[in-house]
Amino acid sequence: MRQIVLDTETTGLEPELDHRIIEIGCVELVNRRATGRTFHRYLNPERDIDEGALAVHGISRAELDGQPRFAEIAEELLQFISGAELVIHNAAFDIAFLDAELARLAGEPRQIAGLCQVLDTLALARELHPGQRNGLDALCKRYSVDNSARELHGALLDARILADVYLAMTGGQGALALMEADVSARANDGARPRVPLRISVPLSITTATSEELAAHEAMLAIIAKASGGRCVWSAMDTPVPVKESTVAPQRSSA
């Protein structure tokens, strides 16, 4: 299964008021493992950035003057995400901006819903933790995901953090066995490498009751009689009844 964890930064909050995307960050997961492949672009929005948005991401208009416009990277982006499931926190926001950018392009109109399935991790978090704070920082704290590098919002950094949060939310103990390629990619672009996290999840073990063991022995006797004594299970030791218990695996020291 191929998934793309995606995040954007924008000039403001309303695409219908001609606000634009200024940064796109994507992280690829295949079968719940980071592959090390990413898509990251800063974009020239051809308009000013609201002060409120600037306070969130810290990207100034002057920094974007030499960057490509969305139309110049659109096909590369669509090739990267097409056919994958997009994993986005508060997906309605990012999808609205992406659809607005696609609507500005020449040719046949396209929308993200026609290219990808979308999983909203904010909606998922609200189902798992109703009535609690479910912003990305709150989820990092809840699932012990390192977000110490997140002084300001950044599309690629937030996509990487969201990938870790999503895997922790949905996969339990084995979710974050990330490939070495992802760790190397973080180190190469200056992001802080993080040791894969392990979540301790109780493992329930249910054993047979005395009545079930007795019924099992009775069935073995019937089989042994019908087979002329050639029932292989009869030669095995009868298991000793054990009380039902719950065993919790030890937390990894990694």
Q: Residue 60's domain is classified under what CATH number?
A: 3.30.420.10
Tell which of 188, 213, 232 closes a domain.
188
34 lies in a domain? Answer: yes
Burial of 142 (0-12, 13-18, 19+ CB in 10 A): middle
Q: pLDDT, tens digit, for every residue of 90-144?
A: 999 999 999 999 999 999 989 999 999 999 999 999 999 999 999 999 999 999 9
Q: Are residues 102 and 33 in the same domain?
A: yes
Average pLDDT along the chain: 83
Residues 36 and 107 in one domain: yes
Residue 24 lies in a domain: yes
Mean pLDDT for 158-165 is 96
Task: Render pLDDT for 49-106 as a digit per residue (tens, 0 to 9).
Answer: 999 999 999 999 999 999 999 999 999 999 999 999 999 999 999 999 999 999 999 9
Q: Is 9 helix (H, G, I), strand (E, B) or coil?
A: strand
- Per annotation, catalytic residue among 40, 57, 153, 216: 153
Residue 234: its pLDDT value, please?
63
- Please indicate, yes or no, whether residues 172 and 209 belong to a single structural domain of this protein: no
- Structural domain span for residue 242: 203-247
- 18 falls in which pLDDT band (50, 70, 90)? very high
41-45, 165-169, 187-191, 230-234: segment of lowest average pLDDT = 187-191
Q: Would you say 144 and 197 are in contact if contact means Cβ atoms under 8 Å apart?
A: yes
User: Is 153 annotated in the active site?
Assistant: yes
Do 217 and 152 lie in a common domain? Answer: no
Q: Which of 85, 155, 163 is nearest to 118 (CA)?
A: 85
